[in-house]
């Protein structure tokens, strides 16, 4: 608690809370002392240790999803001052530089709320199954190395492969809407992240063997043609993944795939 | 009879590799994780994964030398046969990951690129940018998703492991399932299985701020320990030399920064507050390079951490008078740095605000990894020399080749099994392989090796018909285990009180913070007997306060406060094992440095520290931990002094020439 004593200023955290699915949401505000290097996570941790609102009411600790705190696991994504981002890399000095400044925290709106800032992103992972986002290797026996690859191709695949399934691109997308009913996920817009993963695996020699299935899935309702070209996804991606390039590339691949199918009759 | 099933707890590299291996051999798996497996702590691993490779081989390197480096790095505390087997498998593991599509960095010609890492003079570390752990985890996550789509894996994400279901007495004890809790609905349930693989990672949160993720409490390992599994070498905690201190955690700055040429230094003049760029070369003290002319900045982690600690704490030579030193990459081409280290440089830039391509980073050691963990056994392989070999030098003919089964017998059911039959420990929570210090880029290897190699042992155990099937265990044993966990949770939930006068002494977050501060002060870089005794007294006081704990939330839905408070109790118990092991090990070895016993003592302590929990201890000090020392298998390599060629260096001394080394 020594850090509290040496803190020079405070920040107000205004948080949209909700007790569970189907429950109404409400706002609570907290005044938090700012430690050196403080981020939204450290503020939430301070609140957890002594959850008292700005108007002096004792409440429960905030519930939120977090793990690595290094912006590499994707867990702690939330809407901060209106924009989806990771709360670990959100430094208080950057978003609320003056004494008493307010930071507003809300759960992502495109996924069902579990509690407070914690949302259920199962649909995001389900989309990876929809596009068969894997290389179908024979087995795990010793069969020598994988395909050789140029540094240029590796650089592209690596960039696409740094997607941490955080969901920022989906929160920002006008075509991706909240759907509670999981039976409707397969016909709703799949989202930029999964389209980009299809591009990643279509670019791998072994992954390519499922290219046809991926493109079929992305030609079906909810596929790549549902993209409205708002280009919000690429602007909010914390890993600077070229999502719009991926969408354009997969768009071309599906067209060629459809043409080939038309010509061959398969 | 129903199809036998296996349970895997933990979805990091070890758990996912085990899952893939087990389902591939026809057994369905129930996989449990507190987070979506793709968000497991393995994502934080940065630098790479070690394996002998064709280039190093042509320069005289071999799997055997990787093995020799690993046991030397671990200060000879590791049982040697499993280490040999692991190093022998490393090249095959790289090939497999390559086939799964891991985007390993490439040479101009398209071969897998290599980098230098601590504890070796050969390039033997494969890497994917500076987020290798993330890339490896994703590759295995993809394979598990594929098997899940085929119905072979049932993934239980946001489920917390609470207790192993153990049936029978004494040597007949065996694990036949687990009790777990849904972190959203809070439902507590038992799951039946022939075998349970614990792949639950490390315990960094016991030290408060560490490089670990929030789920790395050690709670699951502690629960197995309390249920009767042995815990070994608990005191062997690795402190990584280069981390970025933060308000919520210490973020890792990968060893690959030094592998790619990063230099550690402080100004030669105390309190020299000039911008590092303005300090001329001859006024900088590159203390690691001067003290270790052979390995330089790439000495093993415990040595680098102690030297940095000594420079900052004992000599007060830290940058700007603080506990920090420079880690300098600014002499390298910025474009090269982006290509090789982009991910970690961005992390530094994001969290500190300086661009490490142009301004030296400021770093300090932080708790990083637990070499200790659940005690496991194995069946030795076919390489059994009449006498242990001496130091292996580059170009020597290896005394053992890399044929599978030289170190450990493939498929033997006891490989990586704890002292409870059917309960396995894979990955960081397995105490094997790393001895008293882990070499950089060996962690990813040991996790995947356990999953792939020992996964077969799990399958063979599940199919072994000498034990009755788990199906034959009466349901009431599972029901009783569930009721015990429900009662434990209820006790904590009932502690919530309407009284607004909350005492910080019984606040779980306050107790957790004090635990972290105390453990970091007493059980990390420098330890002494009196300080460890004081630590044990502090832990007893924290446990007493914990018994009066007051929770701030009694919600019956998604109650994270309950989960943390419950884990805290288990962390306090494991903390005692760490402190007590440190106290009883009256020597210095690897990461364990005792100021009052600064030398290695092979005669008394070339031994594994083995702790067993006594739930009903009635000794006066209520000591719940029975600690014994068990022999280490050093039948392959004769222990030798671990110096890494150290020489003397002072801040004001002229620089040693490194020419000709």
Question: How confident is residue B657, by pLDDT bands cut at 50, 70 and 90?
Answer: very low
3-state secondary structure A80-129: ECCEEEECCCCEHHHHCCCCCCEEEEECCCCCCEEECCEECCHHHHHHHH
Question: How confident is residue A31, by pLDDT bands cut at 50, 70 and 90?
Answer: very high
Q: What was the pLDDT predicted at B654?
A: 47
CB of A6 less than 8 A from some CB of B: no
Distances B67 to B57, B162, B184, B198, B346 between C-alpha atoms, Å: 14, 36, 44, 25, 34
Q: What was the pLDDT predicted at A2?
A: 39
Asked whether the beta carbons of A39 and B575 are under 8 A apart, the reply is no
B154 phi and psi angles, rounded to 5 deg? -105, 110
Query: What mean pLDDT comes out for the span B427-445?
Result: 97
Measured distance CA(A199)–CA(A209) in Å, rounded = 13
Best residue of A77, A161, A196 to probe chain B, by most B CBs closer than 10 Å:
A161
Q: What was the pLDDT predicted at B3?
A: 83
Question: How confident is residue A1, by pLDDT bands cut at 50, 70 and 90?
Answer: very low
Q: What angle do CA A158, A159, A163 make, to 5 degrees?
A: 100
Residue A5 has pLDDT above 60, yes or no: no
The beta-carbon neighbor of B560 closest among A39, A50, A63 is A63
Question: Over chain B, what is the mean pLDDT?
Answer: 95
Q: State the residue for tokens 């702790």.
A: B611
Query: What mean pLDDT comes out for the span B635-640?
Result: 98
Looking at chain B, the whole-number percentage of residues with pLDDT higher than 90 is 91
pLDDT tens, position by position, B80-131: 999 999 999 999 999 999 999 999 999 999 999 999 999 999 999 999 998 9
Residue A203 has pLDDT above 70, yes or no: yes
CB of B480 less than 8 A from some CB of A: no
User: How near does any CA of chain A get to the CA of B617, in Å?
Assistant: 33
Measured distance CA(A167)–CA(A164) in Å, rounded = 8
Considering the candidates B115, B268, B284, B301, report the single residue annotated as catalytic: B301
* Helical H segments across chain A, by residue range: 2-6, 40-49, 92-95, 122-130, 151-161, 168-171, 192-202, 211-219, 232-236, 243-264
A47 phi and psi angles, rounded to 5 deg? -65, -40
Measured distance CA(B248)–CA(B251) in Å, rounded = 9
As given in the structure block, the two tokens for residue A45 are 């941790």
Asked whether the beta carbons of B156 and B31 are under 8 A apart, the reply is yes
CB of B401 less than 8 A from some CB of A: no
Residue B68 has pLDDT above 90, yes or no: yes
Q: What was the pLDDT predicted at B504?
A: 87
Contact A36 B41 (CB under 8 A): no
Residues of chain B in contact with residue A137, where contact means CB-CB under 8 angstroms, are 96, 99-100, 143
CB of B557 less than 8 A from some CB of A: yes
The beta-carbon neighbor of A67 closest among B35, B100, B145 is B35
For residue B651, the tally of other CB atoms under 10 A from its CB is 15
CB of A38 less than 8 A from some CB of B: yes
User: How near does any CA of chain A get to the CA of B392, in Å?
Assistant: 27
Q: What was the pLDDT predicted at A220?
A: 96
As given in the structure block, the two tokens for residue B284 are 């900088």
Distances B547 to B441, B495, B508 between C-alpha atoms, Å: 40, 10, 11
As given in the structure block, the two tokens for residue B514 are 């004090």
Residues of chain B in contact with residue A35, where contact means CB-CB under 8 angstroms, are 247
pLDDT tens, position by position, B352-393: 989 999 999 999 999 999 999 999 999 999 999 999 999 999
For domain A121-264, the CATH class is mainly alpha
As given in the structure block, the two tokens for residue B167 are 């049936």
Residues of chain A in contact with residue B347, where contact means CB-CB under 8 angstroms, are 70-72
Contact B247 A125 (CB under 8 A): no
Query: Pairing between strand B6-9 and B29-33?
Result: parallel
Question: How confident is residue B660, by pLDDT bands cut at 50, 70 and 90?
Answer: very low
Instruction: Judge whether B566 counts as a catalytic residue.
Output: no
CB of A146 less than 8 A from some CB of B: yes
Residues of chain B in contact with residue A114, where contact means CB-CB under 8 angstroms, are 184, 558
Range with lowest mean pLDDT among A75-84, A173-182, B467-476, B490-499: B490-499
Closest-CA residue of chain A to B557: A20
Contact A67 B213 (CB under 8 A): yes
pLDDT tens, position by position, B15-37: 999 999 999 999 999 999 999 99
Residue B323 has pLDDT above 60, yes or no: yes
Residue A89 has pLDDT above 90, yes or no: yes
Asked whether the beta carbons of A42 and A35 are under 8 A apart, the reply is yes
This prediction has a pTM of 0.96
Contact B104 A154 (CB under 8 A): yes
Measured distance CA(B348)–CA(B197) in Å, rounded = 36
Closest-CA residue of chain A to B40: A73
As given in the structure block, the two tokens for residue B267 are 């100004």
**Burial of B372: CB neighbours in 10 Å, binned 0-12, 13-18, 19+:** buried
The separation between CA B474 and the C-alpha centre of its own chain, rounded to angstroms, equals: 36
**Intra-chain end-to-end CA distance of chain A, in Å:** 69
Asked whether the beta carbons of B432 and B232 are under 8 A apart, the reply is no
Question: Over chain A, what is the mean pLDDT?
Answer: 95
Question: Which residues 191-250 on chain A approach chain B with CB closer than 8 angstroms?
Answer: 201, 204, 206-207
- Smallest CA-to-CA distance from B440 within B137, B92, B127 is with B127
CB of B248 less than 8 A from some CB of A: yes
**Intra-chain end-to-end CA distance of chain B, in Å:** 67
Residues of chain A in contact with residue B110, where contact means CB-CB under 8 angstroms, are 148-151
CB of B129 less than 8 A from some CB of A: yes
Query: Pairing between strand B231-232 and B373-374?
Result: antiparallel
Residue A253 has pLDDT above 70, yes or no: yes
As given in the structure block, the two tokens for residue B532 are 């460890």
Query: What mean pLDDT comes out for the span B423-434?
Result: 98
Q: What's the sign of the alpha-carbon dihedral B198, B200, B204, B207?
A: negative
CB of A57 less than 8 A from some CB of B: no
For domain B476-601, the CATH class is mainly alpha
User: How near does any CA of chain A get to the CA of B638, in Å?
Assistant: 32
pLDDT tens, position by position, B130-189: 899 999 999 999 999 999 999 999 999 999 999 999 999 988 899 999 999 999 999 999
Range with lowest mean pLDDT among A170-174, B40-44, B312-316: B312-316
Domain ranges of chain B: 6-239+370-468, 240-366, 476-601
Range with lowest mean pLDDT among A166-170, B318-322, B476-480, B657-661: B657-661
Residues of chain B in contact with residue A165, where contact means CB-CB under 8 angstroms, are 36, 38-39
Q: Which H or E run contains B281?
A: none
User: What residues contact residue B540 under an 8 Å CB cut-off, 6+ apart?
Assistant: none
Residue A123 has pLDDT above 90, yes or no: yes
Domain ranges of chain A: 2-118, 121-264
Q: What was the pLDDT predicted at A265?
A: 75
Residue B661 has pLDDT above 50, yes or no: no
For the structural domain made of A2-118, what CATH number should be given? 3.10.20.30
pLDDT tens, position by position, B550-570: 999 999 999 999 999 999 999
- Domain B6-239+370-468 homologous superfamily, CATH: FAD/NAD(P)-binding domain (3.50.50.60)
Q: Taking the CA of residue A250 as centre, how many other CA atoms within 13 Å lie in the half-sphere pointing to its CB?
A: 34
As given in the structure block, the two tokens for residue A150 are 């140029």
Distances A222 to A121, A243, B419, B452 between C-alpha atoms, Å: 18, 17, 52, 38
The separation between CA B358 and the C-alpha centre of its own chain, rounded to angstroms, equals: 32
Measured distance CA(B293)–CA(B483) in Å, rounded = 61
Asked whether the beta carbons of A118 and A64 are under 8 A apart, the reply is yes
Out of 3.40.50.2000, 3.40.449.10, 3.90.700.10, 2.60.40.10, select the CATH number for domain B240-366: 3.90.700.10
Q: State the residue for tokens 């049932």.
A: B154
- Count residue pairs from A and B with Cβ separation < 8 A: 201
Strands laid side by side in the B373-374 sheet: B373-374, B231-232, B607-613, B625-631
Closest-CA residue of chain B to A33: B247
Measured distance CA(B616)–CA(B622) in Å, rounded = 8
């Amino acid at each position: 608690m020594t850090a509290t004593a040496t803190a020079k200023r405070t920040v107000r955290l205004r948080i949209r809370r909700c007790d569970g699915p189907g429950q109404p949401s409400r706002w609570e505000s907290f005044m938090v002392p700012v430690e050196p290097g403080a981020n939204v996570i450290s503020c939430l941790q301070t609140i957890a240790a002594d959850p008292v609102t700005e108007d002096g009411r004792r409440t429960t600790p905030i519930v939120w999803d977090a793990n690595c705190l290094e912006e590499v696991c994707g867990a702690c994504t939330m809407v901060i001052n209106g924009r989806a981002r990771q709360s670990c890399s959100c430094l208080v000095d950057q978003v609320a530089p003056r004494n008493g400044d307010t930071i507003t925290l809300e759960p992502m709106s495109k996924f069902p709320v579990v509690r407070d800032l914690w949302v259920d992103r199962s649909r995001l992972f389900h989309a990876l199954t929809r596009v068969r986002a894997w290389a179908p290797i024979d087995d795990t026996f010793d069969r020598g190395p994988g395909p050789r690859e140029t540094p240029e191709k590796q650089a592209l695949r690596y960039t696409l492969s740094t997607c941490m399934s955080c969901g920022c691109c989906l929160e920002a997308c006008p075509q991706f809407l909240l759907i509670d009913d999981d039976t409707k996920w397969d016909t709703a817009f799949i989202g930029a992240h999964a389209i980009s993963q299809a591009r990643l695996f279509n670019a791998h020699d072994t992954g390519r063997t499922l290219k046809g299935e991926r493109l079929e899935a992305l030609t079906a309702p909810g596929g790549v043609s549902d993209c409205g070209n708002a280009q919000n996804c690429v602007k909010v991606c914390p890993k600077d993944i070229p999502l719009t390039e991926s969408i354009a590339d997969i768009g071309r691949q599906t067209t060629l795939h459809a043409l080939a199918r038309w010509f061959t009759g398969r | 009879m129903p199809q036998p099933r296996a349970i895997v707890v933990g979805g990091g590299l070890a758990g996912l590799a085990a899952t893939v291996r087990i389902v591939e051999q026809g057994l369905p798996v129930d996989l449990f994780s507190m987070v979506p497996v793709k968000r497991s702590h393995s994502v934080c691993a940065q630098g790479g994964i070690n394996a002998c490779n064709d280039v190093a081989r042509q320069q005289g390197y071999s799997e055997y030398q990787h093995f020799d480096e690993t046991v030397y790095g671990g200060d000879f505390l590791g049982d040697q046969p499993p280490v040999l087997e692991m190093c022998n498998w490393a090249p095959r593991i790289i090939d497999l990951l390559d086939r799964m599509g891991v985007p390993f960095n490439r040479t101009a010609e398209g071969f897998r690129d290599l980098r230098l890492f601590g504890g070796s003079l050969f390039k033997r570390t494969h890497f994917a940018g500076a987020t290798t752990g993330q890339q490896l985890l994703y590759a295995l996550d993809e394979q598990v998703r594929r098997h899940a789509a085929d119905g072979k894996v049932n993934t239980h994400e946001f489920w917390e492991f609470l207790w192993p279901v153990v049936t029978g007495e004494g040597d007949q004890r065996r694990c036949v399932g687990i009790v777990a809790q849904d972190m959203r609905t809070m439902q507590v349930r038992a799951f039946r299985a022939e075998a349970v693989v614990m792949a639950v990672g490390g315990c960094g949160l016991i030290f408060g701020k560490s490089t670990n993720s929030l789920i790395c409490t050690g709670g699951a390992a502690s629960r197995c320990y309390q249920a009767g599994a042995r815990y070994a070498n608990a005191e062997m905690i690795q402190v990584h030399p280069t981390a970025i201190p933060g308000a919520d955690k210490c973020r890792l700055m990968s060893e690959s920064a030094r592998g790619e040429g990063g230099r550690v230094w402080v100004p030669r003049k105390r309190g020299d507050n000039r911008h590092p760029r303005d300090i001329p070369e001859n006024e900088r003290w590159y203390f690691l390079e001067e003290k270790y002319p052979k390995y330089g900045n790439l000495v093993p982690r415990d040595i680098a951490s102690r030297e940095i600690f000594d420079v900052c704490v004992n000599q007060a030579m830290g940058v700007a008078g603080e506990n920090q030193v420079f880690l300098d990459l600014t002499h390298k081409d910025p474009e090269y740095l982006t290509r090789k280290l982009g991910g970690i440089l961005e992390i530094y830039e994001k969290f500190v605000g300086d661009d490490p391509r142009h301004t030296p980073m400021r770093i300090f050691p932080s708790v990083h990894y637990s070499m200790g963990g659940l005690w496991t056994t194995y069946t030795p392989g076919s390489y059994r020399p009449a006498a242990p070999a001496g130091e292996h030098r580059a170009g020597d003919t290896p005394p053992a080749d890399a044929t599978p089964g030289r170190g450990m017998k493939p498929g033997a059911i006891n490989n990586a099994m704890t002292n409870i039959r059917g309960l396995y420990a894979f990955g960081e929570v397995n105490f094997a392989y790393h001895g008293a210090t882990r070499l950089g880029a060996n962690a990813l290897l040991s996790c995947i090796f356990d999953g792939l190699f020992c996964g077969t042992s799990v399958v063979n155990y599940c199919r072994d018909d000498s034990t009755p099937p788990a199906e034959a265990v009466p349901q009431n044993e599972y029901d009783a285990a569930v009721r015990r966990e429900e009662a434990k949770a209820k006790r904590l939930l009932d502690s919530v009180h309407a009284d607004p006068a909350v005492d910080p002494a019984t606040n779980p977050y306050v107790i957790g913070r004090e635990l972290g501060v105390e453990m970091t002060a007493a059980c990390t870089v420098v330890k002494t007997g009196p300080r460890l005794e004081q630590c044990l007294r502090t832990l007893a006081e924290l446990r007493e306060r914990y018994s009066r704990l007051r929770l701030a939330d009694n919600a019956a839905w998604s109650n994270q406060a309950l989960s943390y408070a419950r884990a805290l109790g288990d962390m306090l118990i494991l903390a005692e094992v760490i402190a007590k092991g440190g106290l009883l090990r009256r020597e210095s070895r690897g990461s364990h440095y005792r100021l009052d016993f600064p030398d290695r003592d092979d005669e008394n302590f070339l031994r594994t520290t083995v702790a067993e929990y006594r739930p009903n201890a009635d000794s006066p000090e209520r000591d719940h931990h029975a600690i014994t020392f068990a022999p280490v298998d050093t039948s392959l390599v004769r222990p030798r002094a671990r110096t890494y060629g150290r020489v003397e260096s002072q801040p004001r001394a002229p620089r040693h020439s490194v020419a000709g080394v």
